[in-house]
Amino acid sequence: MNWEELKGEGDVAVKKVCDGLEKRGINVGKSIMSQFGTDEDIPVYDSLGNKLFWISVKSVPGNTTDPKKLPPGYKGWMCGEVESKQWIYPPTVIIWYCLKSNVAWGAITPKRPSTEWFIYPDRYGIIKDQRKSYLSGKTYYIYPSYCVPVERIISKDQVIEYIKQLSDL
């Protein structure tokens, strides 16, 4: 895998999730940049074209077949940099998509993630991201991210049902 393929993983995951939601009649749009310079992976609109909420999609490397079983060393499924302004207006749902196994799962985002989810790693930019650094030839660090405890993970069907309920308002 090269650097461009790594960057493209996220785009592929977003497209697959977007296609699946469209097949189920949910009015989704293309990824947009927020006023803070962060991307909103899948905006969801009502029938008049008003944005209702957005969905954050995370691609998962490796081959995950059971989202209740974390890879060795994981404290929880990471879901976005803490310093990102996107968490001022959090998405309603986070969806993880494993490209190798085609398994998807999710979590419902609390209004204030810091009150319910914990942060990993503990200090800003202290852990080198081996994969990105190797593929890009530059040093990248894993920044603090919210981790969702395994007990907060919901199935793909539960995620879809929740999105349908919100988009039917």
Q: Quick one: tokens of 69?
A: 């079983």
pTM of the model: 0.86
Q: With contact defined as beta carbons under 8 Å apart, do 139 and 14 qualify?
A: no
Lowest-confidence region among 24-33, 62-71, 79-88, 96-105: 79-88
Number of Cβ within 10 Å of residue 38's Cβ equals 15
- Which two three-digit tokens encode residue 17? 């999730």
Q: What's the pLDDT score for residue 128? A: 84
Which of 32-41, 44-53, 112-121 shows the lowest per-residue confidence on average (mean pLDDT)?
A: 32-41
| pLDDT of 103 higher than 70 | yes
Q: Where are the domains of the chain?
A: 3-78+88-111+150-167
User: Residues 112, 97, 41, CA angle at the centre, nearest 5°?
Assistant: 55
Sheet holding 103-108, edge to edge: 42-45, 51-60, 93-98, 103-108, 154-155
